[in-house]
Amino acid sequence: MLRRKCKNDEEIVAVIAHELGHWKLNHTMYSFIAMQILTFLQFGGYTLVRNSTDLFRSFGFDTQPVLIGLIQFQHAIIPIQHLVSFGFNLVRRSFEFQADAFAKKLGYGAALRAGLVKLQEENLSAMNADPWYSAYHYSHPPLVERLSAIDESEKKED
């Protein structure tokens, strides 16, 4: 897909440099470890709900059916999941800015800008969403924010 849109090899290399930035900065490993910890905590939380006889009794159950425990846990965890999701999105967005900075540091700032614009056109995603909406719903910052960050780093170098 990128090859069809980007006719300039430098833009392709810039986007690959961005992806290599994720690897070099261990973003994939951090995300993997965070997800493993979250999964462990969810199993622990479910175990607490599953073993709570008082919780089942408060909902009118004399026994502790597994399915009912799962439903109770799913409903109880919804607010926490929203907070965790928001936190992960903030971290992922910072990872994107760091990977962009990595590609820029390698000398691909202008090519990365052009490549991001072409990818944006291909994906037809929101170009400039409300910052709070974007921070909550999007794992990647909007194009305008990413281009501004690249421009800002260029101004600091001058």
Domain chopping of the chain, boundaries? 2-157
Looking at residue 112, its pLDDT comes to 92
The answer to whether residue 138 scores a pLDDT higher than 80 is: yes
Looking at residue 126, its pLDDT comes to 64
pLDDT in tens, 81-130: 999 999 999 999 999 999 999 999 999 999 999 988 888 887 766 667 78
Paired tokens of 59: 């909902």
Confidence of residue 9 (pLDDT cuts 50, 70, 90): confident
pLDDT in tens, 52-83: 999 899 989 999 999 999 999 999 899 999 99
Looking at residue 157, its pLDDT comes to 66
The answer to whether residue 51 scores a pLDDT higher than 70 is: yes
* pTM given for the model: 0.81
| Residue with token string 């810039």 | 14
Q: What residues act catalytically?
A: 19, 100
Looking at residue 158, its pLDDT comes to 56
The answer to whether residue 137 scores a pLDDT higher than 90 is: no
Average pLDDT in the 128-156 region? 82
